[in-house]
Structure 1
Amino acid sequence: MSTLWIGFIVFVALLLFLDLFVLNKEDHVPRTREALKWTAMWTAIGLSFSAVIWLAYGNGWIASELSPQQATINYLTGYLVELSLSMDNVFVIALIFKYFKVPAKYQHRVLFWGILGAIVFRLLMILAGVYLLEQFDWMFYVFGLLLLYSAANLFGQEDDTPPAENPIIVFIRRLVPVTKSYHGNHFWIKRKGIRAATPLFIALMMVETTDVIFAIDSIPAILGITTDPFIVFSSNIMAILGLRSLYFVLSSMMDKFGHLKYSLALILVFVGVKMLLHQVWHAPDWVSLVVIFVLLTGGVVVSLVMPPEGKEIV
């Protein structure tokens, strides 16, 4: 593993440590203004990291055939794709917290540990995805079709399966006892000498499995832009680091962005078609960045101007 990889992992670990143990060591419910401030900070960090990408690929800190310009554009495009798809994830997480009645002041803690687990899972999935694309050209078609299938699901009916019926949750409840009530911010407690999981742990597992499901969409989408593992991983992680603050901003407004899912579906269609046509169509890197930005912005604007029926903006 190169120095750049090690440095990036240490940098992310430092950010997570400061977030949980310094800046948010007390359980509380972030107000909208506070959440907006943190969202702006995480977004600034994510966008500013493009300067590191420019320097790294311009000075040979990592072995790659990409020019600094190409690497930076690919990073920003991947960052934007993951950020846009994370919005859909935020709405699902809000439903999970509502279903399990997770106290608002403990939601940040669940999101923190959920994202920590997501970093590990995504690194493994990214390395596996890059390996498959490098070894088997036909995997481009598999990933492309997977993205089109995911887009069709977004256009179709919502999944109304109760969270409690998630196979992972059912499996956990068969393995260990689960308390009926919350016990502060604890995931596990000792009850009559026996360790038992709390509903907070169940909610965490639900968030983790949900993230893995969304990663099945987002990682192939970024691999459709570039197969450079460091760019895929760094853009992915820098985007989801701000997921906690983004959650507190968007969860209260989730009904106001009813048309956003169509933008997300079109983004998946665009990247999926791009992967399917990778041997005959080689669009400039900036084209993907512009198309994805326009689709995402369009979905937000249309949702605000023409809110879904019964969801007027007030």
Structure 2
Amino acid sequence: MNVPVWVWAVTIAGFAVMIAFDFYLVARNPREPSVRECVAWVTFYVLAAVAFGGVLLATAGSSYGGEFFAGWLTEYSLSVDNLFVFVIIMSRFAVPLQYRQKVLLIGIVLALLMRGAFIAAGAQAIARFDWMFYIFGAFLVYTAIKLVGPQQEDEFSENIALRTAKRILPTTDSYRGASVLARVDGRLLVTPMLIVMVAIGTTDLLFALDSIPAIFGLTKEPYLVFAANTFALMGLRQLFFLIGALLDRLVYLSKGLALILAFIGVKLVLEALHHDGVGWAPELPILVSLGVILGTLAITTVASLAKSRRDERRAQSAARPAPDQAPEEVSRTSDVALAERDVR
């Protein structure tokens, strides 16, 4: 896929305009966005990605168009899973609701910059060293095994960069609006807002270690890798507020992502063996990859929502009084509960 320089320039400029407009909206009115607003923007970004893929299908062919859609769906799913950690970080540092948009937006920009560097490095490594396919494949399978294992989603582990920033930077005791710097008694201090941004940025860096090998397992074209990653991150700010309550319902999302990453890892290894002349190793078509990704995400979502509904029904049933319990017993039980509450 030979992408002219002007196409790269137009694509980057288009994304830059969208990000700049997002910054303008947040700076003009820092607040927690409404559900209607979030739905509108997430829909816009999804339709923009679909339109971009449609243009690729029409101009570059079904193979490249399919690679984009497979990569975008995978990266978007990983971004949704990453929102779990963002929610924990925001809660851990008690970020005021009206300033969470700014933190998320800066985190998205940092993620784009870091992933751009990873994409450039990954493309060069794959072009020069064929054995990198084996490394990427093994890493994805290892990541999948970790996702299947016990998860501690209610905890946030501070990385070394965050611990270093908290130790060496003098910090104010409280937030000073959305500012990252504040002057107190003549001293220039950083606010907790900067520490949160460091946490989000360094976490994005760790996420890129999973996402970049995953998408290189679906396409080797740097332009498609860049576009899929950028579209997956666009609208993540609004998605954070839109599905914050839904995240707890997607109980099987990590398991589904583990299956997808394991599949892509095995696919990478098989392609490497195929290129090395191993006759029995097949080269899987992109339509097979797209089918596996779509099918896994659909089954994961349906199963997660079904389990959440079952759990809710069980909780409601447990809260109801037993059928053979006399009305006066129910009344006495309620009176006791009220009395205990008053004592507390």
Q: Output the TM-score relative to the length of structure 1.
A: 0.91
- Pick one of 16, 25, 29 that aligns with 1:26: 29
Give the CA deviation at 1:277. 0.8
Query: What are the superposed Cα offsets for residues 74-122 of structure 1, whole Å, 9 maximum, x if unpaired?
Result: 1111110100111110111001101111111111110111111111100
- 1:186 & 1:23 partners in 2: Cα distance? 14
How many Å apart are 1:220 and its aligned residue? 0.5
Amino acid at match of 1:293: L
- Distance in 1, matches of 2:54 and 2:196, equals 37
| 1:200 Cα deviation from its structure 2 partner | 1.3
The separation in 1 between residues aligned to 2:164 and 2:154, in whole angstroms, is: 16
| Residue 238 of structure 1: how far off its partner (Å) | 0.9
> In the aligned structure 1, how far is the partner of 2:222 from the partner of 2:64?
11
1:112 equivalent to 2:113? Answer no
Structure 2 CA distance for aligned equivalents of residues 189 and 72 of structure 1? 49
Match of 2:295 in 1: 294
- Give SS of 1:179's match: coil
Judged with a 3 Å threshold, the aligned counterparts in structure 2 of structure 1 residues 161 and 128 are, in CA distance, closer, same or farther, namely farther
Aligned to 1:173: 166
How has the CA–CA distance of structure 1 residues 307 and 22 changed in structure 2, closer, same or farther, with 3 Å as cutoff?
closer
Post-superposition Cα deviations, 1:34-64, rounded to whole Å, max 9, x if no partner, equal 2122111111111111134346xx3xxxxxx
**1:281 aligned to 2:274?**
no
Alpha-carbon deviation of 1:190?
A: 2.2
1:184–1:161 distance in 2 versus 1, CA, 3 Å = same
Task: Give the corresponding residue for 1:44.
Answer: 47
Give how far 1:310 is off: 4.9
* Alpha-carbon distance in structure 1 between the residues aligned to 2:206 and 2:265: 17
> What is the CA–CA distance in structure 2 between the aligned matches of 1:114 and 1:33, rounded to whole Å?
23
Who is 1:189 aligned against? 182
Percent identity between the aligned chains?
Answer: 34
SS of alignment partner, residue 20 of structure 1: helix
The question of whether the paired residues in 1 share the 8 Å contact of 2:85 and 2:153 is answered with: no
Q: Matched residues in 2 for 1:260 and 1:164: separation?
A: 20
2-structure distance, mates of 1:90, 1:114: 12
2:5 pairs, out of 2, 15, 20, with: 2
Distance 1:24 1:303, change over 3 A: farther
> Alpha-carbon deviations, 1:195-240, whole Å to 9, x = none?
2221111111111111111111111110001110000001111111
What are the equivalent positions in structure 2 for 1:56-95 lying under 5 Å apart? Answer: 58=59, 67-95=60-88
Distance 1:22-1:267 versus aligned 2 partners, 3 A rule: same
Quick check: 1:258–1:308 contact (8 Å CA) kept in 2? Answer: no
Aligned Cα RMSD in Å? 2.1
What is the match of residue 322 of structure 2?
none
CA pair 275-30 structure 1, distance change in 2 beyond 3 A:
same
Indicate whether 1:147 and 2:148 are aligned.
Answer: no
Q: CA deviation at 1:311?
A: 5.8
Q: 1:23 and 1:190 mapped to 2: Cα distance?
A: 24
CA distance in 2, matches of 1:137, 1:159: 36
Q: Mind listing any 5+ residue stretches in structure 1 that lack a counterpart?
A: 59-66
Quote the Cα distance in structure 2 between the aligned partners of 1:46 and 1:176: 40
Q: Distance in 1 between matches of 2:26 and 2:7?
A: 26
Question: What is the deviation of 1:22?
Answer: 3.8
Structure 1's 164 and 213: CA in aligned 2 closer, same or farther, altered over 3 A?
A: closer
The alpha-carbon deviation at position 161 of structure 1 amounts to 9.3
Contact in 2 for aligned 1:141/1:276 (Cα 8 Å)? yes
Letter in 1 for 2:299: G
**Hey, what's the Cα distance between the residues in 1 that align with 2:134 and 2:126?**
10
Find out whether 1:306 has 2:307 as its counterpart: yes
Looking at structure 2, the residues matched to 194 and 53 of structure 1 have their Cα atoms a distance apart, in angstroms, of: 54
Instruction: Point out where structure 2 has 5 or more consecutive residues left out of the alignment.
Output: 275-280, 317-344
218-227 vs 26-35, which deviates more? 26-35
**Residue in structure 1 matching 2:18, options 15, 18, 36:** 15
Counterpart residue identity of residue 42, structure 1: Y
Tell me the TM-score normalized by structure 2: 0.83
Letter in 2 for 1:5: W
1:277–1:310 distance in 2 versus 1, CA, 3 Å: same
From 232, 254, 262, give the equivalent of 2:255.
262
The 8 Å contact of residues 26 and 101 in structure 2, kept in 1 or not, is answered as no
Contact persistence 2:88–2:155 (CA under 8 A): no
Equivalent-residue separation in structure 2 for 1:164 and 1:198 (angstroms):
21
- Label 1:82 to 1:269 Cα distance change in 2 as closer, same or farther (>3 A): same
Please state how far the C-alpha of 1:160 moved relative to its aligned partner: 6.7
* 1: CA distance, partners of 2:94 / 2:111: 22
Query: 2:182 is paired with a residue of what secondary structure?
Result: strand
| CA–CA separation in structure 1 for the residues paired with 2:196 and 2:231 | 24
How far apart, CA to CA, are the structure 2 residues paired with 1:27 and 1:44? 26
